[in-house]
Structure 1
Amino acid sequence: MPRSPSSPAFWRSPLRGPWFTSVLGVVLLVGITVLFVTGLLSYAAYNPDLSPVNDQTPDKGLLGFYLFAWPTDPSWLYRLTQGTHVTLGIALIPVLLAKLWSVVPKLFALPPARSLAHALERLSLLLLVGGGLFEFTTGVLNVQLDYVFPGSFYPLHFYGAWVFFAAFLAHAVLKTPAALRNLRHLRHEPPYEEGELVSPNPAEPTVSRRGALGVVGGGSLLLFGTTVGRGFDGPLRETALLVPHGGPEPGSGPGAFQINKTAAAVGIDARETSEDAWRLVVEGNGRTVRLGRAALLQLPLHNAALPIACVEGWSTSDQWWRGVRLRDLAALVGYETDTAPDVLVESLQRHGAFRRSALRDNQVRDPRSLLALFVNGADLTPDHGYPARVIVPAAPGVLNTKWVARMTFGDL
């Protein structure tokens, strides 16, 4: 038996072949395209053009050509797009690994390049495999709140996605016609195939190719079933066994819905959020207004039923929020409610990302965008941002800043 991986006879699995690889390739063609689109939408939702506050990917240049003002309708938009992105990404892991396994002999083939065209194909394959493993690995680590990256997750994942998808697109253009021909001509699993992926000396099969696809599909369904519940409340949420937010909701009562970071984790001191100590500073138009919680309660209060959805893919159902409209706070420093501008929001938190965040003018003007003081009929809990937090329809969770200390209105 050949000992070198560069020899075709080294790889003896009878499962490898054009039909098996083509089936996996078509699934990934659809799935990865959806992942890429929903990932770009997630980036747009962070309002990266509100520089330098929200923009953590400098020098994106042409890669930001598609950016647009993220809408506030429907209020569950980010919950849907990011939930799809994360859940589908996790469910596709078995398919990706099976696809890489099915073509691994190509990575060891010699000579490395038989021609310029072959060299370019090998290079695209290297970028495809490396980019795919990088994107899926960093995505899973982010979902698990394991921030072990050598830098911020956002630029790494953003730039990595463009490199990976460019290689993926080039590979798809080259290989999709052949894959579709394989599926069309080989409608039933062939007993024998020819091609560079087929071993010249195959081992005795222990499972059919359809059986192997069933194992891969079963693995994807298992991951889907133990992940998708993170986007729902009630008993279904407890089925999300593989994610940090799949267990029981924190505590009980009006504040018993998911959080990412507690007040203690970000350095909030209860003394600075007391009614005597805390003041909200509102600035804009050269004016400054300072309001305690009691003064805020004297302003017109409004209700909004809105979810919270985070980049890790988890979300809550609608919670009932009550507070002061952001556009009414802008009016305190001289802006008309229908011309309220962007706002920079600063938090009391001392640790972690997004201690400052910015919202676009369309988000500020939406009547459901609130500086919330209550949730579900009770005061905010410390972990949900007491004494005041921002809540905006369809915005990523990190833009719904907690423990708000200062709001500066004006074009950013």
Structure 2
Amino acid sequence: MDVKEHFRSPVRGPRFTSVLGLVLLVGMPVLFVTGLLSYTAYNPGLGPPNDRTPDAGLLGFQLFDWPAGPSWLYWLTQSVHVIGGFVLIPVVLAKLWSVLPKLFVRPPVTSVLHALDRLSLLFLVGGTLFELATGVLNTQLAYWFPGSFYRLHYYGAWVFAAALAVHIATRFAKLRRGLRDEGGEELRAVDPSEETISRRGAVALVGAGSFALFAVTAGQAIGGPLRRTALLAPRGGADPGPEQNGFQINKPAAVRGITARDTGEGWRLSVQKADGGTVRLDHAQLRAMTQTTARLPIACVEGWSTGNQDWRGVRLTDLARLVDAGADDDMFVESLQRTGAFRAVYLRANQVRAGLLALEVNGKPLSLDHGYPARIIVPAAPGVHQTKWVTRLTLGRPA
């Protein structure tokens, strides 16, 4: 008996597969583009430690210098990327189910072109599943990777994009025919079983699955009362109390090896030029400088946001003037933290002009977990660049 005769669902057919394919044709490129925007927001052109793909070669190009505004820019692009990834999971699974009979077509390869086509599908399906799986694990803070998530996810995205381009070039006409329910005989059941759900009902079921995933993940990005609906998100639930400044923490001080002793009376902020002198300031001296208030969010690569908070501190440009730094000087920011990535980052000159060294938030001193005694706040920058427990600022690029 033909193996295909085991697949008897009347739902399978060219139109059902093509409708799902059309959704993915729109959605997956959006994920790829927003992923590239996230990469650009890390300012890889500044090199390590910002760039986590130093061996990327031609794949490591930077689209443009990431702007320091509007303040919600990174929140928007990364929220679309992460939430969109969750929403498309049911569509991807349904699409793979719909074309499962084609896996058993015999002979498996009929020509060189057919072999290349099947090879591109292997990379497309593998790349899609790899990107979705690693993305979900990252949002769940489950770093079960044989290396850096940043690097693996980035390279996987390019494998997926190349395979998708080949797939679109070779299958777009077939997609158009499938939407008219033409062709695709290899997908239709030879001996269909009794219908238990219509194809429209199956599409609606997939849509309901996507909406359910949206409902239990989007709240961590939207914030406010909706944060409690983010049942599958580590940053869901109620906001912490006033002792934690009233909003979500990414990594607490203990996880990063920070103690109260590190941030006590002996703490000093060093401000220096790469080729010049150094100014050292204690907390009281920083508070004696002109203070500026800004209402800004922190948005993280995992897709969650603190929402807007009222930050108060010293403008980075005021600190740069203490060492006669120029308006076009980048800034190298170093933290007291002893463990984890991004213990130091570069900020571009446009970010320096827009950023604060925050000492307070929401009218109170920073809690230790939120970066006391001082942290960086820059509009539209990824959360990992909003460095906590700052100890040194270096203006200009080291030789």
Bin for the TM-score computed over the shorter chain: over 0.9
Q: TM-score, normalised by structure 2?
A: 0.96
Rounded Cα–Cα distance in structure 2 between residues aligned with 1:319 and 1:373 = 13
1:342 corresponds to = 330
1:128 partner letter:
L
Query: Residue 33 of structure 2 is aligned with which of 26, 37, 47?
Result: 37
Residue 76 of structure 1: how far off its partner (Å): 0.4
Q: Any idea what SS the aligned residue of 1:315 has? A: coil
Greater alpha carbon shift after TM alignment, 124-133 vs 194-203: 194-203
Query: Residue 385 of structure 2 is aligned with which of 380, 384, 399?
Result: 399
1:147 corresponds to = 143
RMSD across aligned positions (CA): 1.5
Q: Deviations over 1:98-123 (max 9, x none)?
A: 00111122223332321011001100
Matched, 1:320 2:310: yes
1:348 partner letter:
L
Matched, 1:172 2:168: yes
1:365 corresponds to = 353
Rounded Cα–Cα distance in structure 1 between residues aligned with 2:284 and 2:386 = 22
Greater alpha carbon shift after TM alignment, 169-178 vs 147-156: 169-178
2:242 corresponds to = 252
Q: What are the within-5 Å matches in structure 2 for residues 156-305 of structure 1?
A: 156-183=152-179, 185-186=180-181, 195-252=185-242, 255-274=245-264, 276-284=265-273, 285-305=275-295
1:111 corresponds to = 107
Q: Any idea what SS the aligned residue of 2:280 has? A: strand
Unaligned runs of 5+ in 1: none
Give the number of equivalent residue pairs. Answer: 397
Query: Residue 376 of structure 1 is aligned with which of 359, 362, 366?
Result: 362
Rounded Cα–Cα distance in structure 2 between residues aligned with 1:232 and 1:167 = 33
2:10 corresponds to = 14
Q: Any idea what SS the aligned residue of 1:382 has? A: coil
2:373 corresponds to = 387
Q: Deviations over 1:326-380 (max 9, x none)?
A: 11111111114xx2411111111111111111111111122xx101001011100
Mapped contact 2:47–2:54 kept (Cα < 8 A): no
2:140 partner letter:
Q
Moved over 4 A (4+): none
Residue 253 of structure 1: how far off its partner (Å): 5.9
Q: TM-score, normalised by structure 1?
A: 0.93
Q: Percent identity?
A: 61
Q: Any idea what SS the aligned residue of 1:272 has? A: coil
Residue 320 of structure 1: how far off its partner (Å): 0.7
Rounded Cα–Cα distance in structure 2 between residues aligned with 1:254 and 1:117 = 60
Residue 254 of structure 1: how far off its partner (Å): 7.1
Residue 217 of structure 1: how far off its partner (Å): 0.6
2:269 partner letter:
L
